[in-house]
Homo-oligomer: A and B are copies of this chain.
């Protein structure tokens, strides 16, 4: 499940956090099982969220389906170089209004991010690689998939089982290591009070 290069932990945080990183190398022989797919979506469903609105929505596209091809066609070349080998592509949508009063939900994107966090950690616990992508054309994707205006298209994700990076083009293979992170002290904001 990848090396731990670039990752040194100060605390004994959960193994699924320590080992997770956004690889681009899938096991191309294995389709994502319905059980694993169902479990990662169910874990996402239990993310905390504002007023229990659950603003997240998922387009789930299996490799080879028309939706899968449409999603790939709207990706940047950088993502097209590896993501089409995923077993499943997700489109993450976020409902922009609260259902109980039709007012704007300013937590919609934040809550969808939380659900994505739950999804990725449940995935990691199952040996499933879940890699998010921001590089795509949302307007084009909206047209291709018929996404209603009230749903923001937030991000894409590629899902499948971890595999060897051998098959990847060199340009992608060169990225196959975890990114480092800032020390926690750098993301603490000390208020003027």
Interface of A with B (CB < 8 Å)? 7, 9-14, 17-18, 20-22, 35, 38-39, 41-43, 45-48, 50, 52, 54, 56-61, 66-67, 70, 91, 93, 106-107, 109-118, 120-122, 125, 131-132, 134, 144-147, 151, 154-155, 179-182, 184, 187-193
What are 5 A-B interface contacts by the 8 Å CB criterion? A9-B42, A20-B46, A41-B184, A45-B181, A109-B109
- A122: chain B residues at CB < 8 Å are 13-14, 17
Complex-state Cα separation, A120 to B118, whole angstroms: 9
Determine whether the beta carbon of A54 is less than 8 Å from that of B187.
yes
- A58: chain B residues at CB < 8 Å are 187-189
Determine whether the beta carbon of A189 is less than 8 Å from that of B93.
yes
Complex-state Cα separation, A187 to B91, whole angstroms: 12
Determine whether the beta carbon of B145 is less than 8 Å from that of A193.
yes
- A187: chain B residues at CB < 8 Å are 41, 45, 54, 56-58
Rounded to whole Å, the gap between the CB of A141 and the closest CB of chain B is 9
Determine whether the beta carbon of A46 is less than 8 Å from that of B67.
no
- A191: chain B residues at CB < 8 Å are 59, 61, 67, 70, 91, 144-147
Determine whether the beta carbon of A189 is less than 8 Å from that of B54.
no
- A114: chain B residues at CB < 8 Å are 113-114, 116-117, 120
Determine whether the beta carbon of A132 is less than 8 Å from that of B46.
no
Determine whether the beta carbon of A13 is less than 8 Å from that of B43.
yes
